[in-house]
Amino acid sequence: MIYAYAVVRAGCAPEPTAGIDGAPVELLSAGTLAAVCSSHPTAGMEPDPNHLAAHNRVTTAMLATGAVVPLRFGTTFPDDGAVREALVARARRLEALLRQLEGKVEFGLRACCDEPPAAAEPAPPAAVTSGTETSPAAGTPGRSYLESLRRSRRDPAGGLAAPLRDLHHTLSGRAAAAVLLPAEEGLVAAYLVGAAESSAFRAAVGAAADEDLHAELSGPWAPYTFVTAEASGA
């Protein structure tokens, strides 16, 4: 079985990297594209933490060689030919993605602050006293999650406390693209940043954080968050 980590440009020269279970990573090329792959004796791939970390390590290492389109974990093919067929079938879209992502990396942010959200909903009842089976009580975790998700679709930054909204606007201004991710509370977002601006981006997060605003930056990642819409044709 061939396991695929990412799509890159054919002819790029990766550093030798160990893949999942230590398998050597190789490039399988088709036209201008190449899939970053490794061979494994078994079918399927369990998403255990070490496998996830290995997948991420390979996609991150490829960032040093140029644009990277990271693949979802678990992408497998029966043989080399099937990998090349998949590249050819999606060549136009993959090439467009590689052009967009050239020289860019993704950063993830989780931030929270003590200030209450600007558009806070009325506080839900503290306890469910006599909920019936047919009408789930407001304030249950599931319902509040759904409501936060729906709010975030109507006005992505509207439910954030002012310092978090300001931080997101500041960071969005430094990024080629930004995505607010659904979160029950606080700011969870991803930013597509020019690799050359990574240090300045980190510094901007550090400058915004203080004792009232806690911010955790992760990355650089291969741009997982910024290939997903194109992948589904949205």
Partner 1 sequence: MSTTELEPNGPEVTLVDLADRLLGRGVVLAGDLVLSVAGVDLVYVSLRAVLASVDTAIASGWELP
Radius of gyration of the chain (CA): 21
For residues 112-141, which are near partner 1 according to CB under 8 A? 135-136
What are the tokens at 212? Answer: 């009232």
| Parallel/antiparallel/unpaired status of strands 26-30 and 104-113 | unpaired
Taking the least distance from each CB to partner 1, the nearer of 35 and 213 is 35
Question: Angle 198-208/162-173 helices, nearest 10 degrees?
Answer: 170
DSSP secondary-structure letter at 104?
E
With CB under 8 A as the contact rule, the residue among 31, 125, 182, 206 that binds partner 1 is 182
Q: What would the x/- binding string for partner 1 be over residues 31 to 60, using CB under 8 A?
A: ----x-------xxxxxxxx-xxxxxx--x
Q: List the 33-39 sheet strands across, edge first.
A: 2-9, 33-39, 26-30
Helix (H, G, I), strand (E, B) or coil at 151: helix
With CB under 8 A as the contact rule, the residue among 40, 90, 165, 174 that binds partner 1 is 90
What are the tokens at 195? Answer: 């690799």
Nearest distance from C-beta of residue 147 to partner 1, angstroms: 7
Q: What would the x/- binding string for partner 1 be over residues 136 to 175, using CB under 8 A?
A: x------x--xx-xx--x----------------------
44, β-bridge pairs: none
Q: Which residues bind partner 1 (CB under 8 A)?
A: 4, 7, 35, 43-50, 52-57, 60, 69-78, 82, 86-87, 90, 94, 97, 108, 135-136, 143, 146-147, 149-150, 153, 181-182, 216-219, 221, 224-225, 227-228, 230-232
